[in-house]
Structure 1
Amino acid sequence: MRRIGFFTLTASPPAPPANARTLEALRRALPDCEIEAVEVVPRLRRAPLAYGMAGAVAAASYAPDLLAGRKSLKHAAVRTPWLFRWVKRMAARVARERGFDATFQMQSLFDASVPGLPHFIYTDHTHLENRRYGAAGEAALYSAGWRECERLIYPRARTVFVRSSNVARSLVEDYGLPADKVLCVHAGSNAPVPPAPADVAAPRQRNTILFAGIDWERKGGPALLQAFRLVLERHPDARLSIVGCTPDTGGLPNCEVAGRVPLGEMPRRFAGAGIFCLPTLREPFGIVFVEAMWHGLPIVATEVGAVPDMVEPGVNGALVAPGDVPGLARALCAILDDPARAARYGAASRARAEDRYDWDKVAARMAGRIGTGAV
């Protein structure tokens, strides 16, 4: 039986659920392989000197940004050449000790490749993709030294699996990777997949617009609030449900602010909505769009990042430019005006989720390459 090392920063909560979902799906897709999780952060914490050095180096490297609150020490610590080299040595040692025949890593924040072993990457971003978001994206960049380290990661992989076509383009255009080394496999839902939804029929449900995001500003919440004010002029019975954050809505009527809710409550929130709207300004992927599609919702969003892969105008929703308040209001009203269109868009969302955004199908796409490369 072949042994594959599955390297990730961490697979345990509060790690992104996609880490565990990917591991589980790959184990189902590759039953003839033993896939062992190797968590980088827990191993770093068990090495006190290295753990302290990681924090100290990050603090020294990014002091101005950390003091100004533009970056967090948690994120900066995994983006230094020092930690990059530490993970590289650790991965090689673990691969030898465990007798791995191949290595696989989640995301591209480190390099777990080992000379002589087939290596695979699954990521939802490249660092240079940030430049496509203008000034905000440039501000999100880390040091030149870290960017040079990241450039070393991709050529060492047999295949780089990505969640979206914009990241595939970035690997080719920004990093010079051959197109045949990149494969877009998409991603599944973090939440349990619901049964096929019933047609949205209740007026209150049909007229409810759902926003779900923690970062109100970055996710385009202020623009949605302005757009909803315009929507109310045409649809005074429309409702806006805000989940994940607690913004000041300025007394705007028909707004419910739920704040942070448990992941288990989200199916009820999706089921109680008629439209999902997230006019995000920057979006590496946006798993919440996948969850909205699985719940059969029409989607109104912005044409950034991975979103155009998920939302096709005139098929399952509408896309507008970031910050386009009048365009956002028009798109929402067009769906509220036409229940038949809303139902058609919702059905198309569900169909797209079943075709592209199912973890077992995602893993099967990866297994097609890993099965022939992990020898």
Structure 2
Amino acid sequence: MSSVKKIAFIKYGGFSHINETIYEILTREFPSFEIETIDVFTDLVNTKDLTTIFHTLKEYGMEMLNRTLNIGNRRLYIRYFFNKLRTAIVKRLQGRDYLFTFQTQSLFDASIPGIPHFVYTDHTALANLDYPGFNKKNLPSNSWIECEHQVYHHATLNFTMSDNITNSVVKDYGCDPDRAIDVYCGSNISVSQDDIFDDSRYARKNILFVGVEWKKKGGLVLTEAFQIVLNRFPTATLTIVGCTPEIDVPNCQVLGKVPLAEVAKYFKQAAVFCLPTRLEPFGIVFLEAMAHKLPVVATNIGAIPELIIEGKNGYLVEPDNPQQLTEKLIEILDSPAQCQAFGEYAHRRFWDIYTWEKTGVRIRENIERFI
């Protein structure tokens, strides 16, 4: 290995609790090296200056006028801001001694010539085109897509959470297949392989939904399906965690946002996890359900078919199909034994593949080829 003693970890915000875990991985897998953490949008640039707002309106003004886009989000997806951020990153990193640089997400390019650079992401913009019903007008501009293209091509390796996104980096952005590698990810909820679960819960017919965005995550479809499920199983219940939709349906418990540490108890009380999401770059919440021995009913989109194996640890349905969702929920709730069998398969699959410890080893082994 090189004698350089520092690693630059460049990130944006929390990345759904993932950035904290990545820092721990880099610290654990490269214990001899100091980790310098840089948050690009708090340490380097101002995202709300008037020039950025002007360029955002120039690039996306019509869509904002039609209220289909939000300026707060779109200012991150303009060439002007990408280049501004690129300049700030180069100024901060250039000329310093780094073993390598590592960034999460693909909103910026933190590569420096001559230094191995690694990207870890759960998405690409163009992967959205594979979602049924996705409106192409909601993509970032072609100008910004060209910037995103640069991110993947400047990386020494692109680490992804799923084959779905690995394939997109190669197919949609023209990267060499050898430079796009699926290293997976793990659960954001602390779990132990030795955790004990109450198998009697499978007979209680409690359906669990965990998600912040009710409509985007298929909440309306689930509500419609659940009302029909109640005709078959009057004692079935639906627990909603993470959001507070206004619904008037019997046997529903709406909990809203709860601390991450408390979410585990709702997984432990459920018989089945259901998230009929319409858009999902990866879906760590499915791993959390698997870690808690839950069968899953979800939509056949994005990376979900890699996590949920049809007829093994759950069922896959088409998005916005309440009839199909109802049928699968009734089928799984009708058999506590099947719920348990699916849950056990899910548990084994989680521990075989989807832990942060194993992801960390995959990342280290691939990085070591270049340092």
TM-score, normalized by length of structure 1?
0.92
Residue 18 of structure 1: aligned partner: 18
- Deviations 1:149-188, CA, capped at 9 Å, x for gaps: 1111111111100001111111111111121111111111
Question: Do the aligned partners of 2:201 and 2:270 also contact (CA within 8 Å) in 1?
Answer: no
Alpha-carbon offset, residue 247 of structure 1: 2.2
Residue 359 of structure 2: aligned partner: 362
Unaligned ranges ≥5, structure 1: none
Unaligned ranges ≥5, structure 2: none
Question: Do the aligned partners of 1:199 and 1:343 also contact (CA within 8 Å) in 2?
Answer: no
The answer as to 2:8 corresponding to 1:5 is: yes
- Deviations 1:130-157, CA, capped at 9 Å, x for gaps: 1112443423211111111111111111
Q: Distance in 1 between matches of 2:350 and 2:50?
A: 43
Residue 296 of structure 1: aligned partner: 293
Q: Distance in 2 between matches of 1:311 and 1:33?
A: 38
Q: Distance in 1 between matches of 2:50 and 2:184?
A: 36
Residue 267 of structure 1: aligned partner: 264
Residue 349 of structure 1: aligned partner: 346
Once the two structures are aligned, what percentage of the paired residues are identical?
A: 39
Question: Do the aligned partners of 2:314 and 2:342 also contact (CA within 8 Å) in 1?
Answer: yes
TM-score, normalized by length of structure 2?
0.93
Shift of the 202–128 alpha-carbon distance from structure 1 to 2, 3 Å rule, reads: closer
Which secondary structure state, in structure 2, belongs to the residue aligned with residue 136 of structure 1?
coil
Worse-superposed segment, 68-77 or 167-176? 68-77
Question: Do the aligned partners of 1:274 and 1:297 also contact (CA within 8 Å) in 2?
Answer: yes
Residue 198 of structure 1: aligned partner: 197
Shift of the 139–263 alpha-carbon distance from structure 1 to 2, 3 Å rule, reads: farther
Which of 331, 334, 340 does residue 331 from structure 2 map onto?
Answer: 334
The answer as to 2:44 corresponding to 1:44 is: yes
Q: Distance in 2 between matches of 1:140 and 1:263?
A: 30
Residue 220 of structure 1: aligned partner: 218
- Deviations 1:218-242, CA, capped at 9 Å, x for gaps: 1111111111122122212111111
Question: Do the aligned partners of 1:44 and 1:51 also contact (CA within 8 Å) in 2?
Answer: no
Residue 132 of structure 1: aligned partner: 130
**What amino acid sits opposite 2:265 in the alignment?**
R
Residue 32 of structure 2: aligned partner: 32
Worse-superposed segment, 256-265 or 339-348? 256-265
Which secondary structure state, in structure 1, belongs to the residue aligned with residue 362 of structure 2?
helix
The answer as to 2:317 corresponding to 1:320 is: yes
Which of 96, 99, 105 does residue 103 from structure 2 map onto?
Answer: 105
Which secondary structure state, in structure 2, belongs to the residue aligned with residue 32 of structure 1?
coil
Q: Distance in 2 between matches of 1:318 and 1:233?
A: 21
Which of 79, 82, 97 does residue 80 from structure 2 map onto?
Answer: 82
- Deviations 1:326-358, CA, capped at 9 Å, x for gaps: 221121122211111111111111222212221
- Deviations 1:192-216, CA, capped at 9 Å, x for gaps: 2255241420467x31000111211
**What amino acid sits opposite 1:142 in the alignment?**
P
Q: CA RMSD in A?
A: 1.9
Which secondary structure state, in structure 2, belongs to the residue aligned with residue 334 of structure 1?
helix
- Deviations 1:231-264, CA, capped at 9 Å, x for gaps: 12221211111122222333x2211122222222
Question: Do the aligned partners of 2:202 and 2:271 also contact (CA within 8 Å) in 1?
Answer: no
**What amino acid sits opposite 2:13 in the alignment?**
T
- Deviations 1:299-327, CA, capped at 9 Å, x for gaps: 00000011111111111111011122222
**What amino acid sits opposite 2:334 in the alignment?**
D
**What amino acid sits opposite 2:332 in the alignment?**
I
Question: Do the aligned partners of 2:197 and 2:268 also contact (CA within 8 Å) in 1?
Answer: no
Q: Distance in 2 between matches of 1:10 and 1:55?
A: 20
Question: Do the aligned partners of 1:197 and 1:295 also contact (CA within 8 Å) in 2?
Answer: no
Q: Distance in 1 between matches of 2:246 and 2:88?
A: 47
Q: Distance in 2 between matches of 1:366 and 1:137?
A: 34
Which secondary structure state, in structure 2, belongs to the residue aligned with residue 277 of structure 1?
strand
Which secondary structure state, in structure 1, belongs to the residue aligned with residue 279 of structure 2?
coil
The answer as to 2:176 corresponding to 1:152 is: no
Which secondary structure state, in structure 2, belongs to the residue aligned with residue 201 of structure 1?
helix
Alpha-carbon offset, residue 107 of structure 1: 0.7
Which secondary structure state, in structure 2, belongs to the residue aligned with residue 242 of structure 1?
strand
Q: Distance in 2 between matches of 1:203 and 1:22?
A: 34
Q: Distance in 1 between matches of 2:363 and 2:202?
A: 42
Question: Do the aligned partners of 1:108 and 1:153 also contact (CA within 8 Å) in 2?
Answer: yes
Q: Distance in 2 between matches of 1:107 and 1:29?
A: 20
Question: Do the aligned partners of 1:242 and 1:256 also contact (CA within 8 Å) in 2?
Answer: yes
